[in-house]
Structure 1
């Protein structure tokens, strides 16, 4: 299918811009059916446009704008902030797309392609109607976090078992998990990700600031304030630590250590450095969402200060799936 679509794109680009409408319509129909699109070459202005000048979201490195793909499909257009130096922006976009473009899984945000408009390079993905998991859970208090956590674990297991190079996400937080129009969770934002072969990353050209980035509320103690690049390198185990924090965030609807408001607070830095556990939440609404002994045990295993003692993504997926199945069976028998 992609080969056929690639040929259609070549035919379209050979036509005068005023005569490309039929090809655009056909490509749009094919994309609707298969949810895939040829990654080469970069998207042309006849295929993609910014539909709103207002930024829809903002992150530490990039902003997100809404766009229209093939005249019909809403997409997100992610681009570095204007004040990021051109060389840095280009390097980061290349690094992120180098990982992201390889991935295809129901719980990983799809990469459609990239587009350059003037001096700005955009990374294009489907628009996620419900935004990120943090906003979604806060505005929908009755949503059950366990099915979402199972989906995130499925996505993380896919990344950690990816072949021929496994993928370390590197920045797993509630803000980097998006919710589709169907209410499903998709892992997003691969700006801190790396491909790893036999325990060694495939790239060694990342800057010192790249190793220091990331929110300390989700950062494992072994990579906090590293003295060398190697000490700051993210791993599967640091992803697992962050997943445990995401579990806590989904159940409580709050960031880890929410009582410390400022991310730059020295108390928070001390906690992160030591790898201290957050206090177990006992509020009735949190317990009602499913934070029981089993869930808390899994979280604390994810936060073990010894990276080698943390469970694998496969193990987490198995335990969460079993918990969800057991609960569904109990609900069914009672019904």
Structure 2
């Protein structure tokens, strides 16, 4: 994953946030007073982080130029999983919910529930494979 960061400007001072993980509303007109960092923005970013964790690729991995990424973000085009990834339909649906318009994104409580379910599933799988390797 580090190779993907070489030659790109993910962190930026001139634009609020890291383009590949930031919600589109952060790039709207500066004179709009209702635009600010919020849990909704964090939820959008969380969806992008889940995508990155599950695919080992940064969002918009097929786009190398940050200016082009910004255009896609502003136009509403969401990242897609890499062709070779095998994201489960449940995970992909949750990621896409995180990218919905601000008012429709999952709540913090829903995110906590999602993470807890995933943690329990991983714990169960670990237990099964550790104590029953032939299963």
Give the alignment's TM-score, normalised by structure 1.
0.33
> How is 1:101-180 mapped onto 2 (pairs within 5 angstroms)?
135=2
Distance 1:272 1:333 in 2: 41
Deviations 1:249-279 (A, max 9, x none): 12222221111101123xx233101322222
> How is 1:8-157 mapped onto 2 (pairs within 5 angstroms)?
135=2
Is 1:278 the counterpart of 2:73? The answer is no
CA RMSD of aligned residues (A): 2.5
Aligned length: 122
Q: Which residue of 2 aligns with 1:316?
A: 111
| Unaligned segments of structure 2, at least 5 residues | 3-9
Q: Which residue of 1 aligns with 2:7?
A: none
Distance 2:44 2:54 in 1: 16
Q: Per residue, is there more helix in 1 or in 2? A: 2
Q: Which residue of 2 aligns with 1:295?
A: 91
**Corresponding residue SS for 1:237:** helix
Q: Which residue of 2 aligns with 1:98?
A: none
> For the structure 1 residues 310 and 270, does the alpha-carbon distance in structure 2 shift closer, same or farther, using more than 3 Å as the test?
same
| Unaligned segments of structure 1, at least 5 residues | 1-133, 136-174, 177-208
Q: Which protein is bigger by CA-based radius of gyration?
A: 1
Do the aligned partners of 2:55 and 2:81 also contact (CA within 8 Å) in 1? no
Distance 1:330 1:250 in 2: 18
Do the aligned partners of 1:245 and 1:299 also contact (CA within 8 Å) in 2? yes
**Corresponding residue SS for 1:264:** helix
Do the aligned partners of 2:16 and 2:26 also contact (CA within 8 Å) in 1? no
Do the aligned partners of 1:237 and 1:308 also contact (CA within 8 Å) in 2? yes
Do the aligned partners of 1:220 and 1:242 also contact (CA within 8 Å) in 2? yes
Higher relative contact order (CA 8 A, sep 6+): 2
